[in-house]
Structure 1
Amino acid sequence: MIKYAFEYTDGAMMYYELDENAYYPEAGTVLEGEWLNLEEFKCRICTIDPETHPQCPAAMALWPVLRDFGHRISHEPVNVQVDWTDVHLEAVTSTQQAVRSMVGLMLALCRCPVMEKLRPMAHFHLPFADAAHTQFRVLGMYLIAQYLRENSGMEPDWTLEGLLQNYRELQHANRRLAERIRAASETDAAVNGLIILDALAQSVEMGINQNLKKLRPLFEMYMDPE
C-alpha cells in the first residue's frame, strides 16, 4: 500500500491510499461528469468498447485528483508525505509536482490498455522521480519483460523499438487526457501535473539511445569479453 498525504497552509488536508496490486477504478464503477465519457477526447489508439465501458478508465482513475485539486494553482506550495513499506518521504513542493508524482502512480494502476504497460513500475514507485531516474527504471522494466518473454518461448524485442512505440502511444494518451482534465478543471494544477508526466514520456522516447551510451561506462564490469 502506498500512501500520499497532502497538507496546505490553509489547513486543507487530503489522504490517498493506493494498492499497487489493485486496478483503479474498481470494476463496475460509474462516476459523474461528461469529461469522463469515453467518446469525449477519445484516443485514436483506444481499443476499449464504449458499449461495455462507457467511461475512460484513465480519466476515472484521476477523478479524485480533479475533485481535490481542481481549484488549486500550480505553483501553490504543499507539504506532501509518501509512505510505502518501510519508507517515509516528505517534501515541500509545488502542487503540480506533487500531483504529477501521484498521478503517475494512479495511471500505472488504471485499466487503460495504454497506461497498463507501466504497471510494473507501480510496484517500484519512486515519488518525484526526475527524467534520469525515470529513464533508468523504464529501460530496466522493459528489458526484464523481454527476458521473461524469451524464457516463455516468445519473441523478445532487444531493439527497444516496442518501448519507443509504447511511449509514442503514451504521449498521445497523455495529451488527450490533458484535454479532458482541462475541460473539467477550474485551474491548471492537475493539467500541469499531467503535462510534466508527458514531458517525462517524451524524454524517455527521445533519450533512449543517447542515454544508453551515457549509461555504458557504469556497466564496464559487464563488458569484459573474458
Structure 2
Amino acid sequence: MPMNQNAYRFDYRIELEDGQHTRFEIALDPVTLTMLTASSEPYPPWTQLAYNQCQCCPLTPQTRLYCPIAVNITDLVEKFKDILSHKNCRVVCETDDRTYSKQTSAMEGLTSVFGIIMATSHCPVMDFLKPMARFHLPFASVEETMVRSTSLFLLGQYFEYKKGRIKQFDFEELEKKYARVQLVNEGLLARIRSLGNQDADKNAIITLHSISQFLSLEMDFSLATIAHFFERGQDD
C-alpha cells in the first residue's frame, strides 16, 4: 500500500539504558484507517493464513495467502528480539498532535505498539476498533481502554441511530464483537505457541510469547469500576 502524506502517524521509540534506540513507525491510511504495511515479502511461514487460522476468521486461503495481523508484526518481532532483555527504558510516542513518554519496561511500550497494529491490520474481526486506534492512547490502562472503547462504540451507535439503522443503544453488539476478538486472540496464541517445535529463531519465539501476554486480556463490560464517576453527590 503506497504511503500517503496525510497518513496518521505514530512514531514509537524505545530508548534503552545503554543508549540504543529502537524505532517503530506506524502510519494509518487517513480514509480507511488501515495500517500501511511497512514489511515486504517474503514473509515467514507462520504468517500464512492457513497456519493455525483463527476459528472465527472470515478470510479464506484461496483469496488471502497471509494473516494480515501476522504480517504486520513480523517487523516488530525482528526488532524486539534485540531489546527483550532490557527491562528499564524510556518509551516515547510522537504523533502529529503531541508527544507521549514514559519511563517503563520495553514490554509495556511494545504492548502499545502491538495494540494499534492489531486494530488496524485490516483483519475483518478487528476492524471495529479502528476509530479507537485513530485516537490511540499510548500506555493506556485497562480502565482507560474500557472507557475509550465503550464511549467510541456508543458514538458509533449514535451515528447509526441518526441514519435510522438502529432504535436503541446497548452494549450487546459490543460484547459480541469482543467475544470474536477473544477468538482472534486465541488463534494468534495458537499460531505463536505452535512455533515452539519449528526451526525458527529462538529470540523471535520468545518475542511472540511475550507479546501473547497482551492477548490474554479480556474486556469487562460490567462497567462497575467506572460507574461511580457518574454518580451525583447527595449535595448536588
What is the TM-score of this pair, normalised by structure 2?
0.80
Would the aligned equivalents of 1:6 and 1:80 in 2 still touch at CA under 8 Å? yes
Percent sequence identity over aligned pairs: 27
**Whole-Å separation in 1 of the counterparts to 2:99 and 2:138:** 11
**Residue 142 of structure 1 pairs with residue 142 of structure 2:** no
Letter in 2 for 1:110: S
**Whole-Å separation in 2 of the counterparts to 1:94 and 1:141:** 29
Q: Which residue in 2 is equivalent to 1:4?
A: 12
**Whole-Å separation in 2 of the counterparts to 1:46 and 1:7:** 36
Letter in 1 for 2:13: A
Q: Which residue in 2 is equivalent to 1:174?
A: 185
Q: Which has the higher contact order (CA 8 A, sep 6+)?
A: 1
* Residue deviations 1:112-135 (CA, integer Å, cap 9, x gap): 011211100111111111110000
- The SS at the match of 1:6 is strand
Superposed, which structure 2 residues align to 1:1-226 within 5 Å?
1-20=9-28, 21=30, 22-24=33-35, 26=37, 30-73=41-84, 76-155=87-166, 158-182=169-193, 183=195, 186-187=202-203, 188-199=206-217, 202=218, 204=219, 207-209=220-222, 211=223, 213-220=224-231
Change (3 A) 1:76 1:157: farther
Change (3 A) 1:86 1:61: same
* Residue deviations 1:29-70 (CA, integer Å, cap 9, x gap): 544211101011101111112122110001111111111113
**Whole-Å separation in 2 of the counterparts to 1:190 and 1:93:** 20
Letter in 2 for 1:125: H
The Cα shift of 1:152 comes to 1.4
Letter in 1 for 2:60: D
Would the aligned equivalents of 2:54 and 2:186 in 1 still touch at CA under 8 Å? no
**Whole-Å separation in 2 of the counterparts to 1:18 and 1:161:** 32
What is the TM-score of this pair, normalised by structure 1?
0.83
Answer with 101-110 or 16-25: which moved more. 16-25
**Whole-Å separation in 2 of the counterparts to 1:126 and 1:179:** 28
Question: What 5-or-longer segments of structure 2 have no aligned partner?
Answer: 1-8
The Cα shift of 1:178 comes to 2.8
Change (3 A) 1:8 1:104: same
Change (3 A) 1:47 1:25: farther
